[in-house]
Amino acid sequence: MRELSRIFKALSDKNRIRIIKMLQCKPMCVCELAEVLGLAMSTVSKHLTILRDVELINDLKDGKWVDYSLSRSSRTVYARELLRSMSKWLNEDDAVKADIRKAGKVSRKGICG
């Protein structure tokens, strides 16, 4: 029960939904996500921790970057099924489409600084 409510809570934030929808297209690092979302990196990092804690996403170190991607084999059926549903939803949403378009243009090289 606690596990399920935590996953729903993780998905209940607009910016975290935007992150999920972007990661559905490709893995991204914190600074790229922060750039597209228009949020501080520390804020995005926090959001990613929340999503990772419920196994909706995974992180993979790539040099000084950390690539986040959708979890392909979460421990819980909740995460697996909700990610499957999410992949069908919001694909025609204007905000989501705009995010994905921007995400295709950002380059991790020299975003920070």
Q: Does 47 bind a second copy (CB under 8 A)?
A: no
Q: How would you classify residue 61: left for phi > 0, otherwise alpha for psi between -120 and 50, otherwise beta? A: beta
Among the residue ranges 2-10, 28-36, 42-50, 56-64, the one whose residues contact a second copy (CB under 8 A): 2-10
Q: Alpha-carbon distance 72 to 40, whole Å?
A: 27
Q: Does 50 bind DNA (CB under 7 A)?
A: yes
Q: Does 38 bind a second copy (CB under 8 A)?
A: no
Residue 14 has phi, psi (to 5 degrees) of -55, -45
Q: Alpha-carbon distance 81 to 107, whole Å?
A: 31
Least Å from the CB of residue 42 to DNA: 3
Q: Alpha-carbon distance 92 to 8, whole Å?
A: 22
Q: Which of 52, 53, 17, 57 is nearest to 37 (CA)?
A: 17
Give 92 or 113: the residue with its C-beta nearer to DNA: 113
Using CB under 8 A as the binding rule, the residues of this chain from 54 to 113 that contact a second copy are: 77-78, 81-82, 85, 89-90, 93, 95-96
Which stretches of the chain bind DNA, using CB under 7 A? 9, 12-16, 29-32, 38-43, 45-50, 59, 61, 63-66, 108-113
